[in-house]
Amino acid sequence: MAEIGRWRLVGLSVFVHVLLLVPCSSGLPLVHPLRAAVDRVNERGPFIGLVMAYSSEAQAVRSSGEFVPGSDIPSLDLYGRRFHIGTIRDVDVIWVKSGQRRLNAGITVQILLDVFDIRGLVHFGIAGSANDSLSFGDVSVPKFVAFTGSWTWTKFNSVEGSSPDLSFGEYSIPSESKNWLSSVEYKTEELFPVGKEMQYVFWLEVDPEWFYVAEKLQVALQRCINETYCLPQTPKVAFGLKGSTDDIFVNNAAYRKFLFNEFGVSTIDEESAAVLMTAVSPGVPTIVFRGVSDLAGGEESWSSTDLSDLASINAFKVALEFIAAIGKEKYQLMPKEMI
């Protein structure tokens, strides 16, 4: 009996050792009820992950007719999010609505990367414009995005620091003066790249090769919401600008102007920097498309709901063409000398 017990222990040890050597196809525990379904999905991968925050953006995907749900497993519900599995222009895609602001966006992207076989992320959505050259319905494809919501709130009459700062007294009416609110000094973020030391960063760069592919796109944007409701001019796609992310909805002309003058940002949103930071850490290629739905405190004369719908549609139009381009087996990459 002792001999049999010894061999059982040896067999168990070998079995455990083999399990440890078998790579996990997802970040789900082996006992998770959806583990088998996720493994079946990942057998089809890798996928392009498509992430958006608002319902109007998700509706742009649904109403386009471009997304074809998978016949086997069309969607999976994980951690409160629904991950839609299928194709866009014959490219394998998983799309998900994250919900608004940085925390929701970061959590959703981390789930997507941990659970599914993702080869790159496409993030699209609406944004406010801080740049007078961008108007309603235009789509910005930024090269850099910063999180401009991390501050050190300084003491009254404190010495100016090395980072950019916003002094509230400079915006007093009728003239500049001292202000008990003093100023806020903008801070860098801590980035933890896999295999490297932690880095302090302010600007996050979208994937250079993916940006190069995006620049080659020719996309006709939508000008009219319906037969009688049209913008005065056809919207355009702008490449290589800067974007900012904050957990604050900016509806203030003075702050809009400050962000543009101090940082050169052209669009303001609440998710892009979180999506980028989460993906940059493990080195997953990511690109951002933002449609202008408002002027972030500038003068507006159009319905915000209608503009959100149009901005969502136009941002998705550009994302759609990019997915089709990047999904080809052979697409034109950036020349080595430009990398």
Domains, the chain, ranges and CATH? 34-146+197-329 (3.40.50.1580), 151-186 (no CATH)
Query: What are the CA-CA distances from residue 335 to residues 75, 235, 259, 289 (Å)?
Result: 38, 30, 33, 23
- Are the C-beta atoms of residues 268 and 259 closer than 8 Å to each other? yes
Mark 28-52 as b/e (b = at least 16 C-beta within 10 Å): beeeeeebebbeebbebeebbbbbb
CA distance 290 to 285: 17
Q: Which residue(s) pair with 325 in the sheet?
A: none
Residues of the chain with pLDDT under 50: 7, 9-24
pLDDT computed for residue 14 by the predictor: 41
Give residue 322's identity as a one-letter amino acid code.
F
Taking the CB of residue 17, how many other CB atoms lie within 10 A of it? 9
DSSP one-letter code for 46:
-
pLDDT computed for residue 114 by the predictor: 92
CA distance 106 to 95: 15
CA distance 21 to 263: 49
Token look-up 């920097």 returns: 273
pLDDT computed for residue 106 by the predictor: 93
Q: Which residue(s) pair with 305 in the sheet?
A: none
DSSP string, 216-248: T-------BSSSS-B-SS---EEES-EEEE-SS
